[in-house]
Structure 1
């Protein structure tokens, strides 16, 4: 009996030791992978506080002996006509309008597909899903021709107006999946109390959709903030430049590049997205998880 107990004890201890060893290996691999993924950001933050002559030096130092904040001041006023804050303001205005339009239109379209019955509902829903499989490059030229003919070039209209028309099928799909997980009994109870369709949308459904609304807002912010290609195509005036276009304009192949100020402005441009993600992270994770499970 004692021999059996000792054997079981030894086996359990061996299994625990093996599990601890596997966990240690897993953590080491994850830490190494995280460092590799974060190294570009570490290099960026390190270079911001270095003089220009040390940024690309062969001896990499995380913290330079010649620590300086001059790059931020030079980067903020690197443009003789406008400060970097001016281009940040342009970007925030454009992105804010796009986020508002996308959240409103996607929630309305998602509510319609999830709750209402109308002619052509399923063909339209399938067509909407099909747009998610269409590469954006395919529609690039047709959209430019259309916007050019109606006089929207060199303005923010190609970004803001479509946002109010629920053109992003992914966001609509997220809303549909989330709303389908909300019990219909709530709608029926509201109808019994005399609530209209829009009343149900505004008073019942939307307050329960905060997680997925935050998810849509974060996705829209990141995709619009970083959308260099479309901004390059539709915006040509320097006065209307966004952060992406302004940063690209600092890289001129015909003259020397001020890497210190460029890196400082790049770091500043990353802060809004990082701050927004960490503030809304609980809602973001909940919105993505539940949208994939409900339906």
Structure 2
């Protein structure tokens, strides 16, 4: 097999596999423009017989006095607040593990690794009881405050590996120039950790935006619902489901994630590729 034939086979396979991967998104987009009767009747078709823009208009109007703009605003508030808390707490904890020496560092690092393997279902009930006693149920606090306390184990581990790759000679030079530990963190480590910080920010945004279980547990008022909870309201197994409206709003809910990913995807590759490399 010649080199040109191999390339043709390779690119054909990659293009075919790529189309297979994005087919669900294309199907969702096509279904959001179809009449309700055609969505599942001609499920394999990506071309609607007539374009139903009312799916987007009526879907955006939401339910009663609560429009989908309320759900988008709630998701944006929770996501951005959680992102800021994740960046701050995770970077501080990671700096302590990566650059500071203290007696119980190995013990607490082992605890960090254990929490990464701990299923979320184990802590779900104790957390709910704690937040209920604090009076935080049916507020955004249970979905935001934990990001500011202790950080996220996976993000901490990722940033630890990145911080360890920064030469310690920079810390020593900063100390000679009169910097203390806090100045080293803010003026030396964080500016050099931009790829890791951007990687954490992107993953935190996407995971928080997609979160369904957290809002389902803690939020009861429809005016506080997030996008994921709003989409669920279109589906009612006991009566009628508005599939066209749900697919239309699903397409809109994907737009922020696509924008974030395409704008900052180079930081994801750079942050993961350089994590753990020694300088």
TM-score norm. by structure 2 comes to 0.94
CA distance in structure 2 between the partners assigned to 1:294 and 1:228 by the alignment: 38
2:132 pairs with one of 148, 166, 169: 148
Q: Within 5 A, what are the aligned runs for 1:122-271? A: 122-271=106-255
Secondary structure of the residue that 1:293 maps to in structure 2? coil
Distance in 1 (alpha carbons) for counterparts of 2:207 and 2:65: 28
Q: Cα offset for 1:48?
A: 1.4
Q: What residue in structure 1 maps to residue 32 of structure 2?
A: 48
Contact map agreement 1:51 1:260 (CA 8 A) in 2? yes
Please state how far the C-alpha of 1:136 moved relative to its aligned partner: 1.2
Question: CA contact under 8 A between 2:212 and 2:229: conserved in structure 1?
Answer: yes
Match of 2:71 among 81, 87, 95: 87
User: Does 2:262 align with 1:275?
Assistant: no
Compared CA separation, residues 177 and 59, structure 1 to 2 (3 A): closer
Contact 1:102/1:163, CA 8 A, preserved across alignment:
yes
Aligned-partner Cα distance in 1 for 2:43–2:242: 20
Deviation by residue 1:215-255 (Cα, 9 ceiling, x = unmatched)? 11111111111111121111111111011111111111232
Deviates more, 1:273-282 or 1:250-259: 250-259
Shift of 1:60: 4.3
* 2:274 corresponds to 1:290: yes
Task: Judge conservation of contact 1:178–1:290 (CA < 8 Å) in 2.
Answer: yes
Matched, 1:21 2:5: yes
Segments of structure 1 that go 5 or more residues without pairing to the other structure are: 1-16
In the superposition, relative to structure 1, how do residues 59 and 110 fare at CA in structure 2: closer, same or farther (>3 Å)? closer
1:90 touches 1:241 (CA, 8 Å); kept in 2? yes
When the two structures are superposed, what TM-score results if normalisation uses the length of structure 1?
0.90
Q: What is aligned with 1:10?
A: none
Partners in 2 of 1:144 and 1:18 — Cα distance? 63
Aligned-partner Cα distance in 2 for 1:59–1:221: 32
1:59 to partner: Cα distance: 6.9
Q: Which moved more, 1:267-276 or 1:162-171?
A: 162-171
Contact kept? 1:166, 1:172, Cα under 8 Å: no
Conservation of the 8 A alpha-carbon contact between 1:75 and 1:262: yes
Quote the Cα distance in structure 2 between the aligned partners of 1:266 and 1:201: 41
1:24: Cα distance to partner?
2.8
Residue segments in structure 2 that go unaligned for 5+ positions in a row: none
- In the alignment, the residues of structure 2 paired with residue 29 and residue 82 of structure 1 have an alpha-carbon distance, to the nearest angstrom, of 46
How large is the Cα RMSD of the aligned pairs? 1.6
